[in-house]
Amino acid sequence: MTRRVKAVAVLLALTAGCSRVDEAEAKGVVTAYLDKLVEAYAAGDEQIVDPLVSDAHGKKLLGTIGVKSDMGLVLESKLLAQAWERIAKDGDAILVDTREQWAYRDVRVATGQQEGEASTDAYAIRYRLVRKDGKLIVDDVQFREPPVVGRKEAPTAIDVKTAHGLGKEGAEAPGGDAGPPQDRPGGPPPGHPPMQGGPPPGHPPIPPGAAGGK
């Protein structure tokens, strides 16, 4: 009986140790992702963040960063605050919930001047991490709550799908809108959900009317 109790205690200790390692690794992956995403938007080069994301998420970032480049813009952003709320396994994936505050602005490449309003936004984010070839990467990013977006207007949108060869379906909505919110170059901070006038690029789509202004 004593041996069995000891064996169980050792097993629990090992399990707890693994959980701590996973938590530290997950935080490291999200932190590295956001750092590289900031660099990618500032340089107008999605390939900077490519090694840290899945193919599907990389395509989302390619569209968002590419549309900024087509407009002659880059996104300058800064993570002002971040709180880690939950890290948990979901099958083979790891879910990381955070709250983040970002400051960002669009800058015209040709002049180095700010384009439109700067913005300070607040987000509740869920990162989904998976392993690829033994390495933990970012597979998806979603808002857990409607984002609080500072600025009210964004630079003029263009047809993202047509500009990047993604097909014409959804490229232009009735009334001349440049496609769904997730495809517009609104401006949110890197690694975050795209939307007109709001959240960060590379992040989850936002339902119509979900964004709340300050």
Mean pLDDT of 16-34: 80
Q: Is the pTM of this model over 0.75?
A: no
Binning pLDDT at 50, 70 and 90, where does residue 173 land? very low
Q: What does the pLDDT read at residue 41? A: 95
Domain 2-213 has CATH 3.10.450.50: yes
- β-pairing, 114-132 with 93-108? antiparallel
* 179-204 confidence digits (pLDDT tens): 433 333 344 444 554 444 444 444 44
Closest CA to 203 of 163, 146, 150, 165: 146
Lowest mean pLDDT: which of 120-129, 150-159, 171-180, 203-212? Answer: 171-180
Q: Is the pLDDT of residue 33 over 60?
A: yes
Binning pLDDT at 50, 70 and 90, where does residue 210 land? very low
- Please report, rounded to a whole number, the percentage of residues in the chain having pLDDT higher than 70: 62
Mean pLDDT of 83-92: 95
Q: What does the pLDDT read at residue 152? A: 80
Highest mean pLDDT among 8-17, 74-83, 181-190: 74-83
Closest CA to 182 of 164, 162, 163, 198: 198
* 35-54 confidence digits (pLDDT tens): 999 999 999 999 999 999 99
* 99-145 confidence digits (pLDDT tens): 999 999 999 999 999 999 999 999 999 999 999 999 999 999 999 99
3-class DSSP string for the chain: CHHHHHHHHHHHHHHHHHHHHHHHHHHHHHHHHHHHHHHHHHHCCHHHCHHHECHHHHHHHHHHHHHHHHCCEEEEEEEEEEEEEEEEEECCEEEEEEEEEEEEEEEECCCCCEEEEEEEEEEEEEEEEEEECCEEEEEEEEECCCCEECCCCCCCCCCHHHHCCCCCCCCCECCCECCCHHHCCCCCCCCECCCCCCCCCECCCCCCCCCEEC
Q: Is the pLDDT of residue 15 over 70?
A: no
